[in-house]
Structure formats: structure tokens, C-alpha cells
Structure 1
Amino acid sequence: MRLHVTLRAILAAAAVALLVLLAPPQPAWAHAKLVKSDPANGATVSTPLTGVAFTFNEMVKQQFSTVVVTGPDGVSYSDGTPKSVDKTLTQPIKPLPPGAIKVAWRTVSVDGHPIEGQLTFTNAAPAPTTAAPSSEPPATSAAPATSAAAPTVAAEPASSDSGSSGVIWIVLGVVVVASVLAGGAVWWRRRSGTA
């Protein structure tokens, strides 16, 4: 009688383990995504801007955020560091010259995943009456930020998420197989002892 109970328990454990192994993998934690930008990518702006803003679907870490706004003259017009309020990241800017403006941004999701991108818009507002900002320090900071905006960086962490998910499934499979084998060994000993 005891043998049948043990055999049923082993079969039930094996069935549960099989269900766990065959269950579809759960999606990875979602990362912050850009919902909108102001100005929008490809837009033409006819009024002077004091900043550019990015709205995400979740909060981002301000201390790891950078935004570089570059004019057609190759000069950076970012003014200080970006500020994060709720789900919006805002970068103050100096008066922009007319022409194509490039914006490269990089931030970090609450879960630690870096995200980045870039956009361009056309500034059709009247030219600023003040002198253009100094090109020495901002120009050197513009080059690394622009190169950091390559989309391949965002793709690398996503592949590591799926890799770690695969490792979890392998470890889980080994645990299940070891449990089934241990249960079978216990059953075999008891069966041998009663025979």
C-alpha cells in the first residue's frame, strides 16, 4: 500500500516538473520606452525653444541621463543637465540658430537598463541676437554622446535578458531531472526492500 502512495507521489512530481518545463517562458521585465518628444522627430519649429522634452512610459534615472542638442554649426546648445519630473526628461537649451538641429539622448530605466536614441528637427525661429555659445567644451562632449546614440547599445542588454532566461530554464530542468531520479531511487530501494 505504501509503495503505491510513493509511486503516485513520484508520478505527480514528475508531471508537475514536466508542466513547468513545457510552460511558455514569461516575458522579460519591460524597460522604459520613449512615448513622445517635444519637438517631435522631423518637426519644424517656428517659435524659440527653451528646452527639449522626452516623455517615457515609466520613470527614468535623472543622474544617468544626458541630452546633447547640436546645431547646424556643430556646436552644442545644451544648457546644463537634464531634469526628470515624473516620466518626463527635459533638457534646457540655449537659443538655437536656424537650421537642422540634432538631439542625442541617453538615460537609464528604473530597472537599470540603458536606453537611448536621437532625433532631428528644423529650427525656423528667428536667429538669436546674442552671440553663439563657445564651441570648445560643448563640441568635445557632443562627439561621445552622438556616438553613444548608436542603436546597437540598446540591443545588447536585451540579448543578455534572453540569455539569462535560458540559463534559468536549464537550471530548472536539471533540478527537475535530479528530483525525478532521486524519487526513482527511493522508490527502487523501497521496492527492493519489500521484495
Structure 2
Amino acid sequence: MESRGKTRLIRISVWVAVLSLLLAVVSSLATALAASAHTELRSMAPASGSTATTAPTQVVLTFSEPVSTRFAAVTVTDGTGATVTDGRPTVSGATVTQPLRALRDGSYAVTYRVVSEDGHPVSGRASFSVHLERTSATAPATPAPSPSGTSAAATATPGAPSGTPSPIASAPRGVTPQPAVPWALAGVIAAAVIGGIVALGRGRPRRR
């Protein structure tokens, strides 16, 4: 009788340990899935950390999911902290567009805060720089006297621009990898069931 009681106690302890492990794994996976499901910024134009050679007229933020049209806020400031935004942002699905005033050379900071459709707030900071290209022109050439004493006027063609403005390209929308939750969960459950069967087999008393 005493041996049977010990065996039963061992079985109960094994199953309690297995169930505790399963609950911990499921809780961790649920937390990871909830965190990955939140809305996040996918791209910004001008791109964060980039240098624009033409003054952008707006900042475009693209998120992974549609955001609320009521709570979107975007602030763009220059190096002195002065705001350079022009009016309120407009929201179209997952895209938020903030008009800008005329920008000069310098660094600009972008602060945004939006609310996803499920009510989760998303905020962050980014920055970009502006370095406008200047167009240089050559001075008119001085006409040289001809041997006959007459001179012809020489016309100088202004020089071409030193460079071609590079377009501001937004970062490509990445693909969020999907976690292999079904396979991981199936593997944990299978390991737990096998462990329980082995423990029960070892704890069963042998017949003489």
C-alpha cells in the first residue's frame, strides 16, 4: 500500500510539472504574438538619416497597418527647434502625410504619434538633412581681336548644373516574418506527452 501511494504521488508530480511547462510555453508564445501584432513604422520619405538635395515639401510616414484619422500627430523641427510643419497631417489608410514649409539647408527632426485601429498608440522619432545643390554659371568669354581689325562677339553658354537632384526614396516595405508557432507548440506538447508516458512507465510497480 505504501509503495502504491508513493507511485501515485510521483505520477501526480510529473503531470503537474508537465502542465506547468506547457502553460509557460503557451504564455510566452501568446506574449510574443501580441507584441509582433502591434502597428509599426515601415518607411518614411525622406528616409530617416538621409540627405535630400532638393527641399521636400512633405513628410510621408507609412505604417504596417491602417491608423486612426483622429489622433495622428507629426511634428518637424529644424536645428533651432522651430516648427516647419504646414497645417495638420492627412491620413489615408496606413499612410500619414505631413505638409512642410520651405526648407533650407540643415538637419530636421521628425516626431510622430499615431493610434492604430485597435487602439494601440505608436510613437517615435526620426531625422533627415537637407543640402540644396547650387547651379554655377561661367562668365562670358572676352572676344579676341581678328587679324583684319574686326572682332566677332563670342557667346558663352552657361554651365550645366553641377549635379542632378537625387529623388527621395522611401524604404521598401519589409515583410514581417511569421513565427513558426504551430510547429514549436506541437513539438513542446509531443515532448511533454512522451515524458509523461515514460515517467508513468517507470513508476508502475513490477509484478513478481
Task: Output the CA distance in 2 between the equivalents of 1:53 and 1:22.
Answer: 41
Paired residue for 1:28, among 15, 21, 34?
34
2:70 matched to 1:68? Answer: no
Which amino acid is the alignment partner of residue 39 of structure 2?
A: A
CA RMSD of aligned residues (A): 2.6
Structure 2, unmatched stretches of 5+, are: 1-14, 135-208
| 1:39 aligned partner | 46
Residues 127-146 of structure 1 show CA distances to partners (whole Å, capped at 9, x for unaligned) of: 9xxxxxxxxxxxxxxxxxxx
Give the C-alpha shift of residue 126 in structure 1: 6.2
Task: Output the CA distance in 2 between the equivalents of 1:91 and 1:43.
Answer: 18
- Given that 1:61 and 1:107 are in contact with CA atoms closer than 8 Å, whether structure 2 keeps it comes out as yes
| 1:115 aligned partner | 122
1:80 alignment partner, SS class: coil
| 1:80 aligned partner | 87
Identical columns (%): 37
Which residues in structure 2 correspond to 1:1-150 (within 5 Å)?
21=23, 24-25=26-27, 26=30, 27-28=33-34, 30-125=37-132
Give the C-alpha shift of residue 93 in structure 1: 0.7
Change in 2 beyond 3 A, CA 1:126/1:73: farther
Which residues in structure 2 correspond to 1:173-184 (within 5 Å)?
none
Give the C-alpha shift of residue 86 in structure 1: 2.1
1:91 alignment partner, SS class: strand
Give the C-alpha shift of residue 62 in structure 1: 2.2
Which amino acid is the alignment partner of residue 77 of structure 1?
A: V
The structure 1 segments of at least 4 consecutive aligned residues displaced by more than 6 Å after TM superposition are none
Give the C-alpha shift of residue 110 in structure 1: 1.2
Task: Output the CA distance in 1 between the equivalents of 2:49 and 2:77.
Answer: 15
Give the C-alpha shift of residue 22 in structure 1: 6.3
Change in 2 beyond 3 A, CA 1:91/1:24: same
The TM-score, its normalising length taken from structure 2, stands at 0.49
Give the C-alpha shift of residue 87 in structure 1: 1.3
Alignment: residue pair count:
114
Change in 2 beyond 3 A, CA 1:95/1:24: same
Change in 2 beyond 3 A, CA 1:31/1:22: closer
- Given that 1:33 and 1:57 are in contact with CA atoms closer than 8 Å, whether structure 2 keeps it comes out as yes
